[in-house]
Structures are given as structure tokens and as C-alpha cells.
Amino acid sequence: MATHAPPVEFALPQVLTYPASTPPFLVAQGAEGRLYKTTHITSSRPCALKYRPSKSYRHPILDARLTKARIQAEAKVLDRCCREGVPVPAVYALDAGGGWLMMEWVDGVPVRQGINVWLGERPEDDAVPDAEVADETPLVDLMNRIGEAVGALHRTGVIHGDLTTSNMMLRPWAGGQSNGVSGEDGEKKKAVGGDVILIDFGLATQSVADEDRAVDLYVLERAFASTHPRAERLFTHVLEAYKQAYKKAPSVIHKLEDVRMRGRKKSMLG
Ligand SMILES: Nc1ncnc2c1ncn2[C@@H]1O[C@H](COP(=O)(O)OP(=O)(O)OP(=O)(O)O)[C@@H](O)[C@H]1O
């Protein structure tokens, strides 16, 4: 946790300008918003504060309306997911008019990072030795946990809208999970261990249409293939676990075939 306030590059939302025991720490700066780490109620309770500053290029009334609607929509979806047991950060507080949403801090690293540690530096076209394939269980288990999380999400009628391995965090299990394996193998195993928590619901919508769910899966499939080409063949485990977690999955997977076909046609036409 930061002990000193970082240099203030941007105007802070008012809530972060009050005297607080924990100075806000800017974690991420995106096109639409900023993500700060700070604390909620007590200094030992870390939280994430998502702030959408006003956009000077938009008409002020439209801008205020849009920001408010987005913060409210994200909070509503997170709240719904939380109540239905989908692994997402809990909402602590919000001020939609002020453009911010405060939520539970998820300790850990993005799934993308964990998978990359597991895969190591091996060049993409390197043949995978059999022994290594035989010991892929921790990575396959992670694929299963991703499928379960997405299945739980779709079961509640929520479409994420931007499923990637950067929009999922790996919250480490207590004591790690290297199961006594030390050295490089232990580290790799630990890197893909932990609970999968879905984050960034800025583009989420509520829908019960198979088509929308299939597009959500397709976005993840494409993102996965381009981010982790050497693990692409393991994506089938995500879909298998999705089927186990969500009873209407077969019709979504069926739709996914159509969505893939459309995607292929589109890329052929350029
Ligand atoms: N609850 C959280 N706990 C810990 N880290 C988080 C949390 N939420 C987000 N982060 C970190 O901050 C980064 C940016 O968050 P997020 O993706 O939600 O913002 P964004 O991309 O700016 O949002 P949007 O796409 O809605 O504009 C994430 O990649 C993640 O590393």
C-alpha cells in the first residue's frame, strides 16, 4: 500500500481530496477513466475507486448524463452479480453525479499475467515437449475456473461486453498453491493459482439472449487466442467448464458457431 501520495497529475474527484489516512494511488489510467487504490472506512480496508472525469469535448449536460448513467449501470451490474454469487468485487459506495464508484480491492494479478508467467519465455513456434503437456493440470484448472466464472455471470443474465484475460484477476489462495513444489515449477504453479474475479463492467449489459452470450464468449475466445497463442488449444476447457456451470450453455455454444462463422466471413472480406 502506498505510504506517500504520488505526484498529483490529474485533478482528483472530491472524495479523494478529504484528509484520509491512505493517500490515493493511481493504478490505471484509461481512455474513459482512472482507477485509484485507497481505503474504505478503516485504513486496513483497501478499495478501488473508479473515477470517470468529465470530458471537455462533450456537451456538459450530455457528459454529466452519460457519466452518471455509466457509473449507475456498472454499480447495478456489480451489485446484481455479487448477490447472485458471481465472483466480482463488492460495491462499497458510489456518487454517480460525482463520477465515481468505490469497490472492493482485489489483491492479485490479472489472469493474463499469471498465464504468461506459466507459459514462460518459450518462443511461440517451439514444440511443446510431452512431459510438459502431461503437467498442464494447473493451467487447465485455471481454464476451468474461467469457464465457471463466465458461466455464473451468464446465468445471472449479465453480459460483460469486454471479456479478456486482463479483465479477470487471480486472487491468490491462502498459502499459495505450489503444493510443496519449490523452485521454478512451484512459482509457475503459484502464478496460475487463485480465485478468478471478473472486473471492469464498464461495458456490461443485462440480457438473456443466447446471441449476446455467444458474442461475449467469442470476444473472450478471440482475445485469448491473440494474447496467449501458445495456450489457444486449451480454450476448449473454458467452454467445457462453462457448460458445466450453466445449464443453458449448449444453445449458447451452438450460437457461438454462427458468431464464429460470421467473424471468419468478415475477416475474409477484410
Ligand atoms: N477492484 C479492483 N481491485 C484491484 N484492481 C483493480 C480493480 N478494478 C480494476 N483494477 C485494476 O485497474 C485496471 C483498470 O480497471 P478497469 O479495467 O475497471 O478500468 P478501465 O479499463 O479504465 O474501465 P473502462 O473500460 O470501464 O473505462 C485493471 O486492469 C486492474 O489492473
SS3 48: strand
This prediction's pTM? 0.90
Residue 162 among the catalytic residues: yes
Q: How many angstroms does the Cα of residue 36 sit away from the middle of ligand 1?
A: 9
Specify the pLDDT at position 125. 52
CA–CA separation, 45 and 69 (whole Å): 27
CATH number reported for the structural domain that contains residue 86 in this entry: 3.30.200.20
185 lines ligand 1 (CB under 6 A): no
SS3 17: helix
The interface predicted TM-score of the complex, written ipTM, equals 0.94
CATH number reported for the structural domain that contains residue 245 in this entry: 1.10.510.10
Do 148 and 229 sit in the same domain of this protein?
yes
Do 215 and 232 sit in the same domain of this protein?
yes
Please check the confidence at residue 31 and state whether its pLDDT lies above 50.
yes
Specify the pLDDT at position 178. 55
Do 176 and 232 sit in the same domain of this protein?
yes
Which residues are CB-neighbours of 60 under 8 A, at least 6 positions away?
Answer: 54
User: How many domains in the chain?
Assistant: 2
CA–CA separation, 192 and 177 (whole Å): 9
87 lines ligand 1 (CB under 6 A): no
Closest C-alpha residue for ligand 1 atom 25: 202
Answer yes or no: is 257 within a domain.
Answer: yes
Answer yes or no: is 2 within a domain.
Answer: no
Alpha helices in the chain (DSSP H): 60-83, 111-119, 130-134, 137-155, 183-191, 210-227, 235-245, 249-269
Please check the confidence at residue 127 and state whether its pLDDT lies above 80.
no
Do 88 and 118 sit in the same domain of this protein?
no
Do 53 and 71 sit in the same domain of this protein?
yes
Specify the pLDDT at position 177. 58
* Average pLDDT for the chain: 90
Where among 40, 71, 104 does a domain terminate?
A: 104
pLDDT in tens, 177-224: 555 556 677 889 999 999 999 999 999 999 999 999 999 999 999 999
Answer yes or no: is 7 within a domain.
Answer: no
Answer yes or no: is 3 within a domain.
Answer: no
Quote the domain boundaries for residue 37. Answer: 14-104
CA–CA separation, 34 and 192 (whole Å): 27
**Cell of residue 93, nine digits:** 459506495
Average pLDDT over residues 149-177: 94
Specify the pLDDT at position 3. 45
Do 77 and 114 sit in the same domain of this protein?
no
Do 212 and 153 sit in the same domain of this protein?
yes
pLDDT in tens, 216-254: 999 999 999 999 999 999 999 999 999 999 999 999 999
Q: In the structure, what pLDDT confidence band is assigned to residue 175 with cuts at 50, 70 and 90?
A: confident
Q: In the structure, what pLDDT confidence band is assigned to residue 131 with cuts at 50, 70 and 90?
A: very low
Specify the pLDDT at position 121. 66
Where among 104, 120, 135 does a domain terminate?
A: 104
Please check the confidence at residue 158 and state whether its pLDDT lies above 70.
yes
Specify the pLDDT at position 2. 42
Answer yes or no: is 256 within a domain.
Answer: yes
| Active-site residue, from 79, 162, 200, 210 | 162
